[in-house]
Structure 1
């Protein structure tokens, strides 16, 4: 859970470097900047900084003027490091350029730190990812793993959350990561409102494994989309793999393989995540008891819901409801 100031706002500092990708810079401002409390007041303050204030090259044909220097990092509650195609893949363990190392040294120990795309190379070179799960763009994962063997790189996921340190895959996965942080800070309803305004899904299915080039499926091979849509309408039921496979007229083995190819995870893990998402919404938006929510979300018993919510979020249902009930925006 992020720390918030007396005025209820949370300061986010975006550390940009020459070669920054404009989309990655913009998405942080867009998503955090549109998260509001029920009274319409902003929940985050976002500032952009660099090791030296002034013009910073992007990977496009324009530069951005950065108003703040590295001192902004010392005042931040969350620090975001977007990618730089000019620098990232040249970085090595413990070998950050001196201005960048000095800037990151200003980050407070209590601050949350996150990267977008190959910005993970910066966090790894600074030693922030040692022993932690992490990801980066799938095209850079092999180099990342060889360069930083002490980091548990996962090339299949859209983002990772190790508590204080978070990473995301390619550019658009930064959207998934920021929505994840907003969801953790303020609940599903606020994150969903931000996603709706930005016209993106509040939770994207699967991981980046589905975007790695692979041979096209044979003509006539069906997808698993109808089964997924049907499952979302029937989460309260005790769904089995056979139930899902039958919706696509596939064998269980074929369905499981096709599902993993399309979504990037197993049907069982996908179902659990969707049920946790539904339980979170019901805890935030209704007065249903834990047992009633467990039944509606397909967990069967309150004990099962408690176990899965603890595994996914690290909190009990009553604690989650106490934290987020009444915080949701429109």
Structure 2
């Protein structure tokens, strides 16, 4: 790893920790940062421990983990497809995961009828993974051209798959019970509100298992950037590694979606910003992961407190609204760069 990449990774890690401490400190009930650190070390008063450990820490931890998962997933997809626009929220992975998760939320509720018993046993994380894998499989099969996956076709077909999955979600919201549909609609906005440790744990397990697998193939990813033929000549088993890492990227994005909803543009922006700052030939996994964590916790801090800072009252926005507001202009910038490059 280059010294520039190491320095930037350390910087993003420090900033993510600093923003996380601020998020634990700032809110309706303010807790000084020094007291937050004291609570995390096992001290503090009972009221402070309740606020920090029970109310805010699960939310912040989920945000950090979700940011890492989305960013690593985006970095893998962009590298494997050699396309800067290939992120889980663009190519349909998040939409497929959302369809699976919403099916559980809606069909397992009071409007689910006979299927509710089965759907209630599936669980949101598993359903999200299944939905994400089906979307990825569909995009992958339809993107094959002349025996190879075409990076440009991935984005175009992914947009179509995402539209189909979103239509399925809209249909389920219509047929579902009003209360279940309301819960699903709030979740679809991408929110860390009322997150619990049960939301963070599946993402943590997925990262603990899959992140080392992705890092293990760092050298192979660097070779695959040069093209499949060059990578094969260097001894890389391109087809097997691409399939394995596509599954890794899909499961990470699906688990992150299950934990906090489809938070937009984290998987797109974090790897591309990390790529430009490190000046590497592909998005670096660790730097992208730390930048993704920073992006989500900072966006959540603004979403939770921004309207209050502007004196619009104690209202809270979904974190997905902030990431979309920041990511949408960057998406237009990337599209403009690709158009100029043609």
Do these two structures clear the TM 0.5 threshold for a shared fold by scoring above it? Answer: no
- Taking structure 1 as the reference length, what is the TM-score of the superposition? 0.23
Higher relative contact order (CA 8 A, sep 6+): 2
Larger strand share, 1 or 2:
1
- Taking structure 2 as the reference length, what is the TM-score of the superposition? 0.22
